[in-house]
């Protein structure tokens, strides 16, 4: 059993990062990209990055311990801030703690219903672009969406521009082009988001990273969400308004994305 002492700064202050990785038949999808993002997050938080071999061994051990070396599983790597004294000052040296768990992953979904959350992404905060252990805004937004009868929350930034879902990046077709919110809307630089952008270019799409109001999404010609466990899920409706179903070209892109990730 993995334990965390009460003095760990990940527990007391939310200092730390995590990655959620899809495992299919024991294969860790986009593994290097996840560790690259974890290393970038460590640089932003002044944490030493974890050893990649240790991460791989921890992930494999978690899958084996959970009996999930076959089928679909979600592997979570958590890199905490390590032990520290009371107060905000970081200890010197910093000795982060690596934790790994594995859980069953649900099959890919066909579509989701979205609800616009009252919570706003703070684009001025570096935390909005990192997978830190301070994830309560996302938790509350998802709970708000579920209470409203939706599957997932849509979050905007303080200027009213579409940013992301509680646990996904978002894409939509407008004027024949593929749009996704710019990172400076307070958007997490999703691992699958990056893959989707490359695949879209390969499929001949013009890609725009935009600052767009909700009305642009409501008027789209099909949209979808991406994250590591659900690589391409169509958006069925937003705030009770149905969205256009993805056309053939977008469906091809989504199918390519799913096969690439999983």
User: CATH code at 70?
Assistant: 3.30.470.10
The string of DSSP letters for 87-154 reads: SSSPPSS---EEEEEEEE-PPPPSEEEEEEEEEEE-TTSGGGGS-BS--HHHHHHHHHHHHTT-SEEE
Q: What is the mean pLDDT of residues 111-138?
A: 96
Clarify whether residues 121 and 148 are in a common domain.
yes
CA 13/CA 7 separation, integer angstroms? 10
pLDDT of residue 240: 97
- β pairing state of 233-238 and 241-242: antiparallel
Q: In 3D, which of 25, 112, 35, 36 has the Cα closest to residue 73?
A: 25
Is the omega angle on the peptide bond into residue 93 within 30 degrees of 0, that is, cis? yes
Q: What is the mean pLDDT of residues 207-213?
A: 98
Strand-pair partners of 155: 164
Clarify whether residues 230 and 115 are in a common domain.
yes
Question: What's the pTM value of the predicted model, to 2 decimals?
Answer: 0.95
CA 54/CA 83 separation, integer angstroms? 19
pLDDT of residue 89: 84
The confidence band for 121, taking pLDDT boundaries of 50, 70 and 90, is very high
Statement: residue 112 has pLDDT above 70: yes
- The domain of 28 spans 9-104
Clarify whether residues 36 and 121 are in a common domain.
no
Q: What is the mean pLDDT of residues 239-262?
A: 96
Task: State the DSSP code for 83.
Answer: B
Structurally, the chain folds into a number of domains equal to 2
Clarify whether residues 95 and 177 are in a common domain.
no
């Amino acid at each position: 059993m993995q334990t965390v002492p009460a003095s760990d700064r990940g527990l007391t202050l939310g200092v730390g990062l995590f990655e959620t990785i899809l495992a299919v038949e024991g294969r860790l999808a986009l593994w290097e990209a996840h560790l690259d993002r974890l290393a970038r997050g460590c640089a932003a938080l002044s944490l030493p990055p974890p050893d990649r071999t240790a991460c791989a061994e921890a992930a494999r051990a978690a899958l084996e311990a959970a009996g999930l070396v076959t089928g679909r599983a979600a592997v979570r790597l958590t890199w905490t801030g390590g032990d520290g004294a009371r107060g905000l000052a970081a200890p010197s040296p910093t000795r982060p703690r690596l934790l790994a768990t594995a859980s069953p992953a649900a099959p890919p979904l066909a579509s989701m219903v979205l609800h616009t959350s009252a919570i706003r992404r703070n684009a001025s905060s570096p935390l909005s672009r990192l997978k830190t252990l301070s994830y309560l805004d996302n938790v509350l937004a998802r709970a708000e969406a579920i209470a409203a009868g939706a599957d997932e929350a849509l979050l905007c930034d303080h200027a009213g521009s579409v940013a992301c879902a509680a646990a996904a990046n978002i894409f939509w077709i407008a004027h024949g082009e593929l749009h996704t919110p710019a990172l400076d809307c307070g958007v997490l630089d999703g691992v699958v988001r990056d893959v989707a952008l490359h695949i879209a270019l390969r499929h001949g799409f013009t890609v725009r990273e935009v600052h767009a109001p909700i009305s642009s999404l409501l008027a789209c010609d099909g949209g979808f969400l991406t994250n590591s466990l659900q690589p391409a899920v169509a958006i069925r409706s937003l705030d009770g308004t149905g969205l256009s179903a993805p056309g053939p070209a977008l469906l091809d892109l989504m199918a390519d994305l799913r096969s690439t990730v999983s």
